[in-house]
Structure 1
């Protein structure tokens, strides 16, 4: 079972909302909205995605890493390394 399993519906709701925001961005571009207004909405989408990512990281650390650490030091270290790599991908610009 994954760390986010108890929050699956909340994540899906948030992702659907983000999907709607992206569709709104497409509409704004197709209708020729003002650049700054579009950029403001892009920032909102980025923030929403970051929020989902942070929640998933928290769930992973609180469940998957903790469970692996209970199994063995090696399993715990492997999960920490995996999480570190995932976080590095998230913060890469």
Structure 2
């Protein structure tokens, strides 16, 4: 999470990009609700674990998509505008965060 006193940065995405991300996240949300139902209905652990694994894979796909867009647009633009050092540090911090998970 970011520090509340930090500046909030925004990214302008096309409507299609937003829709694609939101649709993926809504599907993941539905999968999570499905797992909740599975637990409530005492489903077999392995079945639940398989669904959790599918959610993890879907979230990783969202992460990689966002990372790709961030690198090709935000970081690239920052480098062109002479702000590359800060953008690259921020990108490396994101990679470090990925490595923790």
Regarding TM over 0.5, the answer is yes
Cα separation, 1, equivalents of 2:31 and 2:98:
21
Q: 1:25 aligns with which of 35, 38, 42?
A: 35
Cα separation, 2, equivalents of 1:26 and 1:46:
15
Q: Deviations over 1:10-64 (max 9, x none)?
A: 0000000000000001000010000000000000000000000010100000000
Cα separation, 2, equivalents of 1:25 and 1:91:
26
Task: Give the unaligned 5+ runs of structure 1.
Answer: none
Deviating runs (4+, > 4 A) in structure 1?
none
Number of matched residues? 90
Matched, 1:76 2:84: yes
TM-score, reference length from structure 2: 0.85
Question: Which protein has greater RCO, CA pairs closer than 8 Å, 6+ apart?
Answer: 1
TM-score, reference length from structure 1: 0.91
The Cα shift of 1:77 comes to 1.5
**TM-align CA RMSD:** 1.2
